[in-house]
Amino acid sequence: MMRKGIIDRFEGDYAIVEIEGSMNSIMRSDIPNDAHEGDLMVFDNNQWTIARENTDKRKKEIQELADEVWK
């Protein structure tokens, strides 16, 4: 089953990931080493990967919204 989640923050050995509206603790060792807060990840075939294209698109949309607010 494929799931998607967004890294909210890191707490010690855990990444706190929002999955379908709820916060989940995932061991840092179970996600890619280069994962950062705000990255969109996909869980498929028993492993987490970063969806770089979707992460970049999401960050751009958030920045555009912030720019509009501050005009």
Averaged pLDDT of the chain: 89
pLDDT tens-digit readout, 27-51: 999 999 999 999 999 998 899 999 8
* Distant-in-sequence contacts of 9-13, Cβ < 8 A, 24+ apart: 9/37, 10/37
DSSP string, 3-34: EEEEEEEEETTEEEEEETTEEEEEEGGGS-TT
Q: What is the DSSP letter of 47?
A: E
**What is the second-level CATH architecture of the domain 3-69?**
Beta Barrel (2.40)
Domain locations in the chain as residue ranges: 3-69
Whole-model pTM? 0.78
* Cα Rg of the chain (Å, integer): 13
